């Protein structure tokens, strides 16, 4: 007996939110085609479904389609910073740091007490080579999410690029003591090994 495909499972009793979460997970696992099968069964007015559709298009290399889908999701539910954060992160992942920064800055205005937009703005600024402004963005975000490992990792990177070795080391130590993804741990290890050379 073979296991059902993602599309066959999608035809069951799962609601749109569950299907969107499955598709989102498949995107994160690097399976955009399977994600597309699942998300195709969801309604167009489902918020998380709309964002996931945009991410799938982005991961499939359809930049124009992804941008159009993110704009549609933003029009469907205006002011949702979740849309803006995923939109900006996809732009940053594709190498469009300036475009990502525009989206993250918009999210910062909508949610000034939320750390994510400031941290991701900092990452876009690092990618643009504006290390000083990036460091300021991380410093601004720290009181909002003092135990976010990624924040301290990226803050340390900005400080290291500014030649502030002692402060960078302190941020890297703090990041190491907090929750990091395996990719972030690998990045931390690479950065600290590079600094040791």
The token duo for 51 is: 């964002």
Q: What is the pLDDT of residues 175-191, one digit of tens each?
A: 999 999 999 999 999 99
Can you tell me whether residue 61 is helix, strand or coil? coil
- Separation of alpha carbons 17 and 42, rounded Å: 9
The stretch 37-66 carries a mean pLDDT of 92
- Separation of alpha carbons 101 and 103, rounded Å: 5
Q: What is the pLDDT of residues 23-45, one digit of tens each?
A: 999 998 999 899 999 999 999 88
The stretch 96-104 carries a mean pLDDT of 98
What is the predicted pLDDT for the residue at 2?
39
pLDDT at residue 1 is higher than 50: no
H helices within 29-80, ranges in order?
A: 32-39, 47-59, 63-76
In order of 78, 132, 179, the CA distances from 27 in angstroms are 24, 33, 22
pLDDT at residue 13 is higher than 70: no
Q: Identify the band that residue 5 occupies on the pLDDT scale cut at 50, 70 and 90.
A: low
What is the predicted pLDDT for the residue at 12?
52
Q: Identify the band that residue 22 occupies on the pLDDT scale cut at 50, 70 and 90.
A: very high
3-state helix, strand, coil in the chain (%, to 5): 75, 0, 25
The token duo for 91 is: 């732009």
Domains located in the chain, CATH noted = 112-197 (1.25.40.10)
pLDDT at residue 6 is higher than 80: no
Q: What is the pLDDT of residues 130-139, one digit of tens each?
A: 999 999 999 9
């Amino acid at each position: 007996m073979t296991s059902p495909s993602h599309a066959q499972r999608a035809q069951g009793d799962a609601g749109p939110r569950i299907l969107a979460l499955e598709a989102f997970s498949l995107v994160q696992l690097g399976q955009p085609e399977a994600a597309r099968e699942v998300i195709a069964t969801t309604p167009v007015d489902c918020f998380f479904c709309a964002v996931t559709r945009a991410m799938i298009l982005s991961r499939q290399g359809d930049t124009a389609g992804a941008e159009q889908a993110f704009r549609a999701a933003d029009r469907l539910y205006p002011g949702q910073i979740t849309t803006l954060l995923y939109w900006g992160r996809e732009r940053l992942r594709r190498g469009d740091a300036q475009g990502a920064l525009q989206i993250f800055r918009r999210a910062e205005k909508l949610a000034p007490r939320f750390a994510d937009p400031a941290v991701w703005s900092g990452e876009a600024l690092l990618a643009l080579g504006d290390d000083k402004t990036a460091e300021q963005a991380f410093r601004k975000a720290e009181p909002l999410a003092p135990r976010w490992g990624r924040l301290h990792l990226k803050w340390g990177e900005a400080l290291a690029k500014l030649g502030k070795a002692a402060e960078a080391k302190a941020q890297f130590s703090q990041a190491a003591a907090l929750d990091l993804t395996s990719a972030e741990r690998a990045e931390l290890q690479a950065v600290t090994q590079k600094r040791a050379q």
